[in-house]
Amino acid sequence: MIWDSWGAFWEMGGSGPFVWGSYGVTTVLIVAELIMLRTRRVSSTRKLNRLMRAGHGRKLPEVQGS
């Protein structure tokens, strides 16, 4: 085992703020991306459903490629 205790693990030989600052921000960004993706999926599905029910689905001015 590399670490004598959990205290030593969190301290990272005095580099704790740099190491955990790196891993922490990365974790936050990944979680944020997943939440944003979910939010977009839910809101987009809701909006498209509303448009469809309102019967505007086919009238929207969009050109489709083939």
CA dihedral 7, 8, 13, 19 (to 10 degrees): -60
Residue type, 58: R
Residue type, 10: W
Does position 18 interact with another protein (CB under 8 A)? The reply is yes
Q: Which two tokens stand for residue 2?
A: 């590399």
Q: Compute the least distance from the CB of residue 5 to another protein, in Å.
A: 13
Q: What residues make contact with another protein under the rule CB under 8 A?
A: 1-3, 9, 12-15, 17-19, 21-23, 25-26, 29-30, 33-34, 36-37, 40-42, 44-46, 48-49, 51-52, 57-58, 60, 62-66
